[in-house]
Amino acid sequence: MQKTLLLVLSFLAVYVVKKYQDWRRAIRSIHDLPGFRHVFGTQASVLARRIPYLCTGSLSPWLRKHDDFVQYDSDIITGVRLFPCDATLFVADAEALKEITSARTRFPKPLHEYEAVNLYGHNIVGTEADEWKRHRKITAPSFSERNNRLVWDETIGIVQELCEDVWGGKDHVVENIVDVTIPLALFVIGTAGFGRRMSWKAEVDVSYGHTMPFKDALHVISVELWIKALLPSWFIRWAPIPRIRAFKTAYTELERYMIEMIEERRSSEKKEQRYDLFTSLLVASEEESDGITKLSDSEVMGNIFVFLIAGHETTAHTLAFTFILLALYQDQQEIMYQQIKSVIPDDRLPSYEDMGKLTQCYAVILETLRMYPPVCLIPKTTAEDTTLHTRNMAGEPIAIPCPAGTGIGIHVAGIHYNPRYWKDPYTFNPSRFLEDWPRDAFLPFSGGARSCLGRRFSEMEAVAALAYIIARYRVEVKEEPQYAAETFEQRKERMLTCKTAVTLYPAKAPLVFKRR
């Protein structure tokens, strides 16, 4: 027994010495520059808030914004974690970030961190190098002008049904805002993404051979993707937890729906002129193009799935934050309302041609994305030894060594709240986007060649929804007796309390929509 104990202690001692050596090696690799030193990094996402020396916490990039950079006196700071033992550079410098997002071969994605998006097959988000080029070549044409128009028209139709049928006849409606924006975005991606029209009315019919309606499968997968991102496959496979079992069922159902859609559109004798992303992608994947290998069925499904996540979660939560901000800042809501009425003075529906004129709506969306970016930290890595350049808070230049294999964190919240680029960054001020603004310091959709293909899709949907609803309803914060004595700042903090799963979202925000 003593020999066994001695052997175990010996192995433990060797392990501890090895981990310490790895730890010191990681710190030396970044020249012991200032920053975080934790047992776990932001990957310990089950812990939202920072615990000194234990973990940085999944919400800390959002909660701290640019403060950590001020604390360590540099717009590039370091992080070293013990499990797994590695070093990361967190970047909130616009010039350095432009270099990182432009030189994609020097700063590729760490693909192991994107496994969750390969749920149905490899795709444009979860690939790199030549494989990424192949996916981009085939998928990019799907985001066409015709698809943009489809997004606009479908969004107007969906919010019109909401206002006239669901809210019809009511002078005011109280809603937790995410209960409005999540189905709204889901219905838009259902039609403009999959070519499957959905509505606010409950879908009770289940297609033959299925156990769940298409709408429900789409919804469950889109809001529960964190299960795949955070939990091991063996646990998901065997866990008896109802929520996880529902996710597994939705995964199987959505896959079967997509396979049926592929077969139906391929076998159809009469080819319809359809401009949804699924059909466009299917057509593009079947055409020979410069010797590029066609997408397999699983790759078609993989790409449409990431379009779903990008087009649903991000737009739904951005719209939710936008309505909350407009409810809090009534003066900004009035400015937007007056500008909408100047573009659309009568009661006609906003048209696709109005998009370019609705500058205030667009500015409000951009300001919301600056203040509440969907993803606050975008991971990259370094493929070769290099040096990044930044400045301290006094503006003095600093050279940051970046050895091959070092992690890079594009700190979106840090750059969006960096006063070097944004005057009064904590102030909700949409007018900053009506004049010249620092585009290299605005990264809600990432940047460079790997920036989000669906950016225009999302913006089109958000502007159309805002233009229709704000023209007809004044949005206010619901008055509740227990909060009668709160100050504006307290109300703002309460209404904009955030959580994060796949993206940042408002925890709970009851709003009142009053018919004008």
Residue 239 in this model has a pLDDT that exceeds 90: no
Residue 202 has pLDDT above 80, yes or no: no
Which strands, in side-by-side order, build the sheet including 172-176?
A: 172-176, 510-515, 473-477
Residue 226 has pLDDT above 90, yes or no: no
pLDDT at 272 over 80: no
Q: How much is the pLDDT for 289?
A: 62
Residues 419 and 508 in one domain: yes
Q: Is the pLDDT of residue 417 over 50?
A: yes
- Cβ neighbours for 318, distance < 8 A, ≥ 6 positions apart: 365, 368, 369, 372, 374, 458, 462
Q: E-assigned strands of 55-111?
A: 76-81, 86-91
* Residue 44 banded pLDDT, cuts 50, 70, 90: very low
Q: Which of 71-80, 287-296, 336-345 has the lowest mean pLDDT?
A: 287-296
Q: Note whether 216 and 83 are same-domain residues.
A: yes
The rounded distance, in Å, linking the Cα atoms of 87 and 81 is 7
The answer on whether 55 is annotated among ligand-binding residues is no
Residues 4 and 39 in one domain: no
Q: Does residue 123 share a domain with residue 15?
A: no
CA distance 150 to 322: 23
24 and 155 assigned to the same domain: no
Do 202 and 164 lie in one domain? The reply is yes
pLDDT in tens, 288-315: 566 677 888 888 888 888 887 777 888 9
Task: State pLDDT tens for residues 463-504.
Answer: 999 999 999 999 999 999 999 999 999 999 999 999 887 788
Q: Based on the fold, state whether residues 21 and 164 are members of the same structural domain.
A: no
Amino acid (1-letter code) at residue 466: L
Residues 120 and 12 in one domain: no
Distance CA 97, CA 400 (A): 13
Instruction: Provide the domain count of the chain.
Output: 2
Q: How does DSSP classify residue 435? A: S
Residue 365: what pLDDT?
Answer: 97
Whether residues 297 and 326 share a domain: the answer is: yes
pTM: 0.92
Six token digits for residue 21: 């050596």
Whether residues 103 and 145 share a domain: the answer is yes
- pLDDT at residue 204 tops 70: no
The residue-averaged pLDDT of 58-73 equals 92
Q: How confident is the model at residue 26 (pLDDT cuts 50, 70, 90)?
A: confident
Rounded Cα–Cα distance for residues 360 and 432 (Å): 11
At 203 the pLDDT is 61
pLDDT attached to residue 149: 93
Are residue 356 and residue 422 in the same domain, yes or no?
yes
Q: What pLDDT sits at residue 270?
A: 59
User: Is a pLDDT exceeding 90 seen at residue 265?
Assistant: no
**Residue in 35, 60, 66 with CA at minimum distance from that of residue 420:** 66
User: If you average pLDDT over residues 333-343, what whole number do you get?
Assistant: 96
Same domain? For 73 and 60 the reply is yes
Range of the domain at 70: 31-515
Q: Do 366 and 430 meet the contact criterion of CB atoms below 8 Å apart? A: yes
Residue 41, pLDDT above cutoff 80? no
SS3 (DSSP) at 468: helix
Give the mean model confidence (pLDDT) for residues 351-366: 96
CA distance 286 to 5: 64
- The helix-helix angle for 455-472 and 330-343 (nearest 10°) equals 100
382's CB contacts (< 8 A; 6+ apart) are 106, 107, 402, 403, 404, 405, 406, 407, 408
